[in-house]
Amino acid sequence: MFSFISRRVLAGLATLLVSTFAMFLLVSAAIRPYIFMDLEASTSPNKQQLIDQRTLDLDLDTNVVIRYFKWLGDFVTGDLGTAWRSGQSVSNLLQGAVISTIQLVAAATVLAVIFGVMVGIVSALRQYSTFDYLTIFVSFVLYSLPAFWVAVLLKQWGAIGFNDFLRDPNLSILAIAVAGVAIGLLWSLAFGGTLRRRLAVFGLGFAATAVALLYLQLSGWWEEPNLGPVIIAVTGAALAFAITALVSGLKNRRALYASLTTVVVGVVVYFPIQSVLRQVDNWLLVLVLAVVTVAVGIGIGYAWGGPDKGVSARAAAITAFLVGSMIFVDRVMQFWPAYLAAPAINNRPIPTIGNSTPNLGGNFWVQVLDQYTHLLLPTIALVLIQFAGYTRYSRASMLEVMSQDYIRTARAKGLPERTVVMRHGFRNTLIPLATIVPIDVITLLGGAIITEKVFARPGMGLLFLNSLTGGEIDPVMAYLVIVAALAIIANIVADLIYAALDPRIRVNA
């Protein structure tokens, strides 16, 4: 393992050195017109003196190769340079941009992978069904949509339209019925089976959707949104059954009881934990509480035991994390009325630009809520586009895996279909995705340039674009080095994931 990583790191450093040299030459040539653009358009009588002075200040008369090695020497010693137009250090610019981009990328990638892989696998298992054709159609439509167009539509309907709706949040019976029919039809197509089974699933989906929307309407949820112990209990119980079905199957009663016990514990501590959450004023404490929550879930799983204690612990830990996340979201939502009434928000809580509201004020929870509202639209934009790709990849991979001989052998041995799909099919479906997901993550860490530009989110992509058009080589080169280094790391991580997913692969071979 150590030998493999050492070789890959050395090869990566050599690649990084060559790529930075090539990029420095190309960027130097590309940004030169932008450096003097303002002076060339100037009518000042000493224009030539100003041009000569800027040339001297930026050392542009020195050979580009020599300038590269000067830059490289400064870079490896920790001096990333300065953005000469603003006078800010590149380190400070990168710090804010990296945090903004990571916030966006983390949420978008996790959601896109989860929903994309899940829908793709279901589509493959329902090959040539109506759900399969619908999934293919929607995936191709989303994949072909321009990112800027999706972002603009989200601004119009997700921000302006929703903010207008909040002035008088009333859903008509017709709207509730249409939503119920759409959701019920989608679930019936996903589950498939006989006509009787489809009608039953459709009825349950329709009823659940209609009841949920009616509850939101009649309880005044739009003015004071919350989850509360009742919703957490009902949703947690549903998640416990779903997670147990995926992890071990519902026949493993110990795993199911461990997950349900975790939900009960979460509901019981809902009110006492509020006093603890009032003391939280930074993300480090949130992380500590998350670790404690997962540890409690693992402990409950081992306490229930069963034929495989690890399976029970895994199911309970996942359930504990999700229940804890709902309690955290509920705490954030408790500050919605105060957030909505703030003068800086002016009863229009869904913003269209930036990553925070100027002059908002408030405690930690208000600031978290403000960050979430600013993340909402750009995250949805990225999720829609990424979702299409992951759906297509996972569907194609699952179809290929399910046609293999070892799948037929597993079925011939009499293994349950859930075991065949989840343990033998799903695991091997993830192998091709192990290449795609790390590279996509690194690509997005480089900045979703179009999305960040439309939403004016000060991330890595917008920093690169502004620096390039501003003729500032130091921020551009720092950006390129970070992206190139992360791309090399992503390839190493992909190889390690291969080895974890496929026992036939050995990184020390």
Residue indicated by tokens 């339209």: 161
Model pLDDT, residue 185: 92
Q: Which structure tokens are listed for 328? A: 């955290």
Among 97, 85, 13, smallest CA distance to 460 is for 97
Rounded mean pLDDT of the chain? Answer: 86
The verdict on residue 486 lying in a domain is no
Q: Is residue 35 part of a domain?
A: no
User: Does residue 72 belong to any structural domain of this protein?
Assistant: no
Q: Which of 64-73, 304-313, 380-389, 451-460 has the lowest mean pLDDT?
A: 304-313
Angle at 122 between CA 121 and CA 127, to 5 degrees: 95
Question: What is the reported pTM?
Answer: 0.84
Query: What does the block give as tokens for 347?
Result: 């009863």
Contact (CB, 8 A) for 425 and 395:
no
Residues 261 and 356: their CA atoms lie apart, in Å, by 39
316/310 Cα distance (integer angstroms): 10
Picking from 82, 202, 199, the residue whose alpha carbon sits closest to that of residue 477 is: 82
Distance between CA atoms of 191 and 188, rounded to whole angstroms? Answer: 5
Residue 109 maps to a domain: yes
Q: Which two tokens stand for residue 321?
A: 């994390």
pLDDT at 182: 93
Task: Say how far apart CA 13 and CA 347 lie, in whole Å.
Answer: 52
Q: What's the number of domains the chain is made of?
A: 1
Query: What is the predicted pLDDT for the residue at 320?
Result: 94
At residue 505, the pLDDT reads 65
> Which of 185-194, 390-399, 426-435, 475-484 is least confident?
426-435
Percent of the chain with pLDDT over 90: 21
Q: Is residue 320 part of a domain?
A: yes
Structure-token pair, residue 377: 């639209």
- pLDDT computed for residue 506 by the predictor: 64
Does 470 score more than 90 pLDDT? Answer: no
In a domain? residue 185: yes
Q: How many CB atoms are closer than 10 A to CB 77?
A: 8
**Greater pLDDT, 466 or 192:** 466
User: Which candidate, 502, 509, 475, places its Cα nearest to that of 95?
Assistant: 475
Query: Which of 27-41, 290-304, 458-472 reaches the highest mean pLDDT?
Result: 290-304
How many Cβ atoms from other residues are within 10 Å of residue 307's Cβ? 10
Quote the pLDDT of residue 181. Answer: 94
Q: State which residues form the domain around 309.
A: 104-393
In a domain, 118, yes or no: yes
Side-chain half-sphere of 425: how many Cα atoms within 13 Å?
32
